[in-house]
Structure 1
Amino acid sequence: MLSTALAAPAAAAAPRYQRYVALGDSYAAVGTLTKVRSAPIGCARATDNYPSGVAARLAPATFVDISCGGAETPDLTTPQEVPLGVNPAQFSALTPDTDLVTVSIGGNDVGFGEIVRKCAELSFGDPFGAPCRAHYTAGGTDVLAARIAELAPKITAVVDGITARSPNATVVVVGYLRILPPRWGCWPLVPFAIGDVAYFDGVQRSLNATIGGRAEAAGARFVNPGLTTGHDVCQLPGKKWVEGLVPTSLSMPVHPNARGQAHVAGLVAAALSQ
């Protein structure tokens, strides 16, 4: 006669994580535009962004995605007004029983949107030079390097703020997918002057390095999607992970598409398995 233990159905295995909270800006939030969640719709928070991919892989008991396009570090602690609504302070989703947090933040603090617009505008007057670099280094000071330096202590504060509210959480800070190739670019399809491509790529690598260094020093894990080349805005549809100014998939300009977000989700899941 089989014992009761053998005869009874096997109990379902408990999920590794009980409560997963996703924080961050549009590089965490966006995905396919036809899959955007409401509440509020202005955040462009999609069901195929990388947090959703991580949740699908890990199957936590509870998944809360409060990331929002346009978010800067102050929007983690204060409500953020967006078209057609307000996103609550993102830290409001953190609870003592939260045991996994991902966050992508800092690009808007540095001014990614402004930089892309300015570099595109200047490129038409000097497509073979480096007018954007000249603009941001006029007077002998690299304005973008200074902005990244100003961001550094804010990243420390972000991690500290998460751990204060969710002391048992594994915190994963996620950097930014590579936007441009290391050199040359593809002007005028993506209007960055040839000399500005390497400059902007260096700015983005410095941003990721600064975010990663501060995150790890504060006790978080860091995932850097910007290390991989060959999937930037200049690649063909189907190969690119970040869309150009004129998207070739149902995503936002100069933002990750569904393929890019799936790649980031895989990197985060792999980091958590180590």
Structure 2
Amino acid sequence: MKNPFRPSRAGRTLIAGAALLSAGAVLAPAGTAVASTAPKREFKAHYVALGDSYASAPLVPDQVDATCLRSNQNYPSLVAQSRGAALTDVSCSGATTADMTASQTDGVPAQLGALNRGTDLVTITIGGNDIGFSTVLGTCAQLTATDPTGTPCQTHYTSVYEDQISDAIDQTAPKVAQVLRAVHHRAPHAKVVVVGYPDLFPDDGVGCTSKTVPLAVGDFAWLRDKEKELNAMLFRQARKNGARYVNTYTPSIGHDLCKPTGERWIETFAPETPAAPVHPNAMGESVMATAVESALVRHTRHR
């Protein structure tokens, strides 16, 4: 059965460039106690970034890939800069788990093709497009006028017998697991990190009324819970499949799309700073990078 939540290509607006750094080795004359005067060339770990638009940072300056809407200030680029790693960034707006193993569109090959046995670090943010979250948000916005103080979107997607979004999340779980197994197969020596989604909606469930956030007041808490449910699924799949999970939700609480410009790390439906609607702006990507880097440092210390 066709997944009603998978957005169309035109609707998958959720989408820097690869900063390839050289690696080398120091050669010294054999059998001599005299230190070589040749300049040392630092080894650069190979880091591959996979995922969707929350990794690629669409419209955040500077955009370096027009097809995938990828920024050179996305969290993978910032992590690579911090660690001095050689980055191959194939994250792409609109990507789903299917695009890890198949071409997403003309000129955009399967993302897992960037991996090899020499890959040292892999980060991946995926799953939001599998459940069609951008389509859900569009539907919620359209329904707001029917009951602006109620829960028209929640009512649309749920009933006594089912919750369509929860069902879509459950259906996405084995797809994420399959991707993680494929990553380990292609990059058996890599540290694999699943990066969750930041806080999009007020964590206290209290909504905001604004032309730039056209959501019914009662739907904010439900949408918040659906995002937490998605992140919880990613956490479980990471643990079950030999990957670390990075929580970007908690560090971004209090900086959701309802906050004013300057405090807001997630843009509204009509962004006031360069970013895609309901996506991290430059500060949001920076906070995600910090969360990833902190997790990597903790992992190294506890090894």
Superposed pair shares fold, TM > 0.5: yes
Q: Provide, for residues 108-161 of structure 1, a one-character-per-residue CA deviation record: whole Å limited to 9, x for no partner.
A: 001111111011111111111111110010352100010111111111111101
Provide the rounded CA distance (Å) in 2 between the counterparts of 1:231 and 1:50: 17
Shift of 1:240: 1.0
Query: Are 2:200 and 1:174 aligned?
Result: no
Provide the rounded CA distance (Å) in 1 between the counterparts of 2:265 and 2:239: 26
The 8 Å contact of residues 59 and 69 in structure 2, kept in 1 or not, is answered as no
Query: Are 2:43 and 1:14 aligned?
Result: yes
The within-5 A match list for 1:211-230 is: 211-228=234-251, 229-230=253-254
Provide the rounded CA distance (Å) in 2 between the counterparts of 1:162 and 1:72: 15
Shift of 1:8: 4.8
Equivalent residue, structure 2, for 1:52: 77
Provide the rounded CA distance (Å) in 2 between the counterparts of 1:138 and 1:86: 42
Q: Secondary structure at the match of 1:194?
A: coil
The 8 Å contact of residues 31 and 47 in structure 1, kept in 2 or not, is answered as no
- Pairing partner for 1:27 from 46, 54, 64: 54
- Pairing partner for 2:183 from 151, 154, 162: 162
Structure 1 portions without partners, runs of 5+:
none
Q: Secondary structure at the match of 1:43?
A: coil
Equivalent residue, structure 1, for 2:64: 37
Letter in 1 for 2:80: A
Provide the rounded CA distance (Å) in 1 between the counterparts of 2:165 and 2:189: 35
What's the TM-score once normalised by structure 2's chain length?
0.83
The 8 Å contact of residues 61 and 72 in structure 2, kept in 1 or not, is answered as no
Equivalent residue, structure 2, for 1:269: 293
Shift of 1:12: 5.1
Equivalent residue, structure 1, for 2:142: 121
Q: Provide, for residues 198-235 of structure 1, a one-character-per-residue CA deviation record: whole Å limited to 9, x for no partner.
A: 00000000000001111111110000111231010011
The 8 Å contact of residues 31 and 261 in structure 1, kept in 2 or not, is answered as no
Shift of 1:248: 1.3
Shift of 1:71: 0.3
- Report how many aligned residue pairs link the two structures: 263
Provide the rounded CA distance (Å) in 2 between the counterparts of 1:42 and 1:242: 22
In 2 relative to 1, CA 270–33 (structure 1 residues): closer, same or farther, beyond 3 Å?
closer
Shift of 1:244: 0.5
Shift of 1:4: 3.7
What's the TM-score once normalised by structure 1's chain length?
0.91
Q: Secondary structure at the match of 1:97?
A: coil
Q: Which has the higher helix share?
A: 1
Shift of 1:14: 3.4
Structure 2 portions without partners, runs of 5+:
1-32, 299-303
Shift of 1:9: 7.6
Query: Are 2:170 and 1:149 aligned?
Result: yes
Equivalent residue, structure 1, for 2:6: none
Q: Provide, for residues 28-83 of structure 1, a one-character-per-residue CA deviation record: whole Å limited to 9, x for no partner.
A: 00154441113xx12101100000011010111x21000000000000000112xx
- Pairing partner for 1:192 from 198, 202, 215: 215
Provide the rounded CA distance (Å) in 2 between the counterparts of 1:10 and 1:114: 54
The 8 Å contact of residues 60 and 282 in structure 2, kept in 1 or not, is answered as no
Letter in 2 for 1:211: L
Letter in 2 for 1:188: S
Q: Secondary structure at the match of 2:70?
A: coil
The 8 Å contact of residues 103 and 174 in structure 1, kept in 2 or not, is answered as yes
The 8 Å contact of residues 145 and 203 in structure 1, kept in 2 or not, is answered as yes
Q: What's the C-alpha RMSD, in Å, of the aligned pairs?
A: 1.6
Aligned sequence identity (%): 41
Provide the rounded CA distance (Å) in 2 between the counterparts of 1:102 and 1:27: 12
